[in-house]
Copies of this chain bind each other. A is one copy, B any other.
Amino acid sequence: MLHLVVVIRTLGVLLLVYSVAIIPPLLISVGYQDGEWPYWLIIWMEALLLGWVMWWPLRRRELDLHRRDGFTIVTLFWFILGFISAVPFLFMPQLDFSDAVFEAISAFTTTGATVIVGLDQLPPSILFWRQELQWLGGIGVIVTAVAILPMLGIGGMQLYRAETPGPIKGEKLTPRIAQTARALWFIYGGLTITCATAYWLAGMSWFDAVAHSLTTVSTGGFSTHDDSLAYFDSALIEAIACLFMLLGAINFGIHYLALHKGRIDLYWRQDEIRIFLKVVAILIALIAATLFLSGTYTHPLTALRYAAFQTISVITSTGYGTADFSLWPLFLPVLLIFSSFMGGCAGSTAGGMKVIRFLLLVKQGRREIYRLVHPQIVRTLKIDGRPVAEEVTSAVWGFFSLYILLFAILMMVLMAYGMDQVTAFGAVATCLNNLGPGLGEVATNFIGVSDGAKWLLSFAMLAGRLELFTVLVLFSRIFWRS
C-alpha cells in the first residue's frame, strides 16, 4: 500500500506540472478569438484540481521511488495523460470518445496518426493543442528513455547508462531524473526555438512556424494543414524539416555531451549515429533511383527531393508528407514501412525498435557466422569499442522477439475486425513504430477504422512508445505476485 501512495502522489505532481500546458491554447484561444476559451479554462481547472487532490493529502509522506514503482508510474502517467489530453477533442462534434482518445494518444506518443480532416478550418487553439501535445510527448519520451528506462533495465536500454549526464544512485530514481530532465529540456527547447525561427525565415507564418517546429523536433508529424508540408511546396522548408527531424531522431544524451564538451565530433564517434546516417543515405539513394527509373518523377533532382524528404520523415518516424508514398510503385511503400521498424536512435523522440538494437542484431548475425567458421574462438560484441554485456544482448533479443510477436498478433486481431491484410500491416506498423501514415485504407488518416481497432491501435502506440516491456510487465503474473 505504501507503494500505491507514492504512485498517486507522483502522478499528482506530474499532473500539476502538466496543467501548465493548457495555458498556451487558452491564450491562443483568447488571442485568436476562436471561441474555445471556456473549454480550455474548464480543462485547466480540472487538471489543477485532480493533481492537487492526488498530491496534497500525501505531500508529507517521506518516500523515495523504487525500481518497481517505475513501471507502474511510467505506464499510468502516459495512460492517464492520454485520456486527459483527449478532453479538448471531445468538444469537437465530428469526434466521438474513441476518436478523441485515439487522437490524443496518437499526439502524445508522437505517432501522428489522425482521425481529423479539414485541419485548415479548425480553431487555432485546437490546432495548437495537437502540436503542443506532440511536443510534450517528445520531451516526455526523451526523459523516459534517457533517464528512467535504463534504470528499469528495459530491452537493452542499460547501454545508455554510461552515456547520460548525472550520477547513478542505485535504486533511487528521483534526484537523477530531475537533474537529467532539466538538461534535456534545455536542449529540446533550444532545438525547437531554432527550428521555429528557421521555418519563419523560410517563409512560414509565425503560427505555422511554431506549430511545425513543435512536431518536427518531437518527430511527431502533425501539421496544421491537411496537405502536411506539401502545403508550403518549398524545398527550403523541406530541407529545414529534414535537418531537425534528423536532430530529433538522434540520442539526446549525445546532444547533451556534444554541447557540454563543445565537441561536434562526438556525434560521428557513436556507432549508432554513424550507422543511422549511413542507412538514411543508402535508403535515399535507392529510393530516389527507383522513383526516377520507374518514371514516377521525370527529373532526377525531383526524385531525390521527394525521396529524401519521405525517407527521413519515415525513418525518423515523423510522418510528414510531401507525397503519398503508399502510392509509390513496386517495393517502395513496404520498404519505407520496414525502415520505420528500425527508426532512429535510442534516447531520442524517434519510434521503432531503434538503430542500436538493429546494430546489435546485425553484429550478432555476423558473430554467429564467425563462430560457425571458427567455433573455438570466442568473440564479444562491441558497441563504440566497448564490450556489450550478455545481459544486455539477451534483453535486446527478448525485446526484438516480443516486438515481432506483438506485431503479428495485433495484425491478426485487426484483420478479425475486418481490415484487409495490407491495411492491417500498415496500421500496426505505423502505430507500433509511432510513425503516423500507413498503407491502404490508413495511408493518410484513420477515419475509416472501427472503434475496436482504434482502441487496439491506441494500445499499440503506447506499447511502442514505452519500449513494450514497461507496459507488458504490468500484465505479467510475476510482477503482481511479489
Contacts and interface: CB of A to CB of B under 8 A. Distances in A.
Interface of A: 67-68, 71, 152-155, 330-331, 333-335, 338, 361, 364-365, 367-375, 390-391, 393-395, 397-402, 404-405, 408, 411-413, 415-416, 418, 421-422, 425, 439, 469, 472-473, 476, 478-479, 482
A372 B416 contact: no
A373 B68 contact: yes
A476 B369 contact: yes
Contacts of A71: 372
A96 to B, nearest CB: 25
A340 to B, nearest CB: 12
Contact of A373 (B372, B375, B398, B473): B473
Contacts of A373: 68, 473, 476, 478-479, 482
Given A364-B398, A398-B364, A421 B369 contact: no
Contacts of A402: 365, 368
A395 B397 CA distance: 11
Contact of A413 (B155, B331, B364): B331
A424 to B, nearest CB: 8
Nearest to A341: B408
A461 B289 CA distance: 30
Nearest to A367: B398
Nearest to A401: B361
B153 A412 contact: no
B334 A372 contact: no
A403 B370 CA distance: 17
Contacts of A154: 372
A288 to B, nearest CB: 15
Interface centre among A331, A372, A394, A401 (most CB of B within 10 A): A372
Query: Which of A364, A365, A393 lies at the interface centre, i.e. has the most chain B CB atoms within 10 A of its CB?
Result: A365
A13 to B, nearest CB: 25
Contacts of A368: 155, 394-395, 398-399, 402, 469
Nearest to A397: B397
6 contacts: A67-B375, A331-B413, A361-B397, A368-B469, A374-B478, A393-B397
